[in-house]
Amino acid sequence: MTDTLQRFLMDRSDVRGELVQLDAAWQSLLKSTRYPEPVKRLLGEAVAATALMAETIKFDGNLTLQAQGDGPVKLLVVQVTSERTFRATAKCDETVEAGSLSEMIGKGQMVITVEQGESRSDYQGVVPLEGERLQEALAAYFERSEQLSTGMWLAANTDRAAGLMLQKLPESQVSSDDDLWSRVKQLADTVKADELLTLGGTEVLHRLFHEEEVRVFEGVEYQFRCNCSRNRIANTIYSLGEDDAQALVAERGSIEVDCQFCHQQYRFDAVDVTQLFASDSASSSDQVH
Ligand SMILES: [Zn+2]
């Protein structure tokens, strides 16, 4: 099974874990992009990490990881929805050398935003851009902001984006197995990028934790899907106001918008734009009568 996230529990739920491996979905995200290799790797790791985070929380809408800085990678955005779809994009220099997280993003900030649905307000957390890799920055963030001991191991190439996460649950009872957390974290530290990127999920978990008591839940599927639409773009044009929208059409012949996530092109010509505002006045006059 590909494009799967598997949750598991260890030793009567003292430690929870997740393993995500995105293959076809990750490949189709990359298909329309031309990022340098190191950016593909960083983006893949960010996609895997965001899926891992999404599965640990209850939310309704989007979970977004966004990094912005003055380094060779100017912008990195990954969005995972509560329907288990994801999309991602990056803005970067034409050539980017592989480097540490702070070398690639530069001075800037990384923010996690969670839309929690109508009943609860949105949540935002700032992740300091520190550590050699994204996995270290995120693990440190969980330790600090959620007081959850966390380990994260990420890997990506052009075939697969993969990640493993372990968290020590705060509500865990005084366990007879005191060193479970340090033991399983040490085991996970031995995982090689190559194993995450080539082996099946069950095999990875078996290799690492075969001496532990692991309860693996049925995997859930993640899909690459962009939720852009002609309608959404129309709303954006509409928000410009009729005068500005028509001025743009007059200047360029049409308004063309590329989705930054999936690179779908949307084109609105003079007739489209006129209709957009005409249908609005028609519907608002309907409301009057
Ligand atoms: Zn799109």
Q: Report how far ligand 1's centroid is from the alpha carbon of 233 (Å).
A: 10
Instruction: Supply angle C-alpha 146, 151, 156, rounded to 5.
Output: 120
pLDDT value of residue 192 = 98
pLDDT value of residue 36 = 97
pLDDT value of residue 14 = 85
Q: Is residue 261 part of a domain?
A: yes
CATH number of the domain enclosing 262: 3.90.1280.10
Q: Report how far ligand 1's centroid is from the alpha carbon of 262 (Å).
A: 4
* Proportion of the chain above pLDDT 90, given as a percent: 75
Q: Report how far ligand 1's centroid is from the alpha carbon of 230 (Å).
A: 10
Assess whether 71 and 159 both reside in one domain: yes
pLDDT value of residue 238 = 93
Q: Report how far ligand 1's centroid is from the alpha carbon of 205 (Å).
A: 35
Question: Which three-class secondary structure state does DSSP give residue 37?
Answer: helix
Question: How far is it, in rounded angstroms, from Cα 180 to Cα 74?
Answer: 40
pLDDT value of residue 147 = 87
How many residues are recorded in the chain?
Answer: 289
Q: What is the pLDDT of residues 147-188, one digit of tens each?
A: 889 999 999 999 999 999 999 987 655 566 778 899 999 999
Q: Is residue 120 part of a domain?
A: yes
pLDDT value of residue 146 = 85
Q: Is residue 287 part of a domain?
A: no
Q: How many Å from the N-terminal Cα to the C-terminal Cα in the chain?
A: 56
Task: Answer with the one of 224, 242, 274 that is the final residue of a domain.
Answer: 224
H/E run at residue 140: helix 134-141
pLDDT value of residue 71 = 96
Sign of CA dihedral 191, 141, 166, 204: negative
pLDDT value of residue 287 = 41
Assess whether 120 and 259 both reside in one domain: no
Looking at the 3D structure of the chain, how many domains does it have? 2
Q: From start to end of 98-248, where are the E strands?
A: 108-114, 123-127, 150-156, 161-168, 214-216, 220-221, 223-224
Assess whether 216 and 262 both reside in one domain: no
pLDDT value of residue 281 = 53
Q: Is residue 289 part of a domain?
A: no
Question: How far is it, in rounded angstroms, from Cα 186 to Cα 288?
Answer: 68
Assess whether 122 and 242 both reside in one domain: no
Question: How far is it, in rounded angstroms, from Cα 43 to Cα 161?
Answer: 9
CATH number of the domain enclosing 197: 3.55.30.10
Assess whether 84 and 206 both reside in one domain: yes
Q: Assess contact for 22 and 49: CB atoms under 8 A.
A: no
Which residues of the chain have a pLDDT value below 70?
Answer: 1, 171-176, 279-289
User: Domain of 251?
Assistant: 230-282
Question: How far is it, in rounded angstroms, from Cα 229 to Cα 118?
Answer: 23
pLDDT value of residue 288 = 38
Q: Report how far ligand 1's centroid is from the alpha carbon of 141 (Å).
A: 30
Assess whether 177 and 258 both reside in one domain: no
pLDDT value of residue 93 = 96
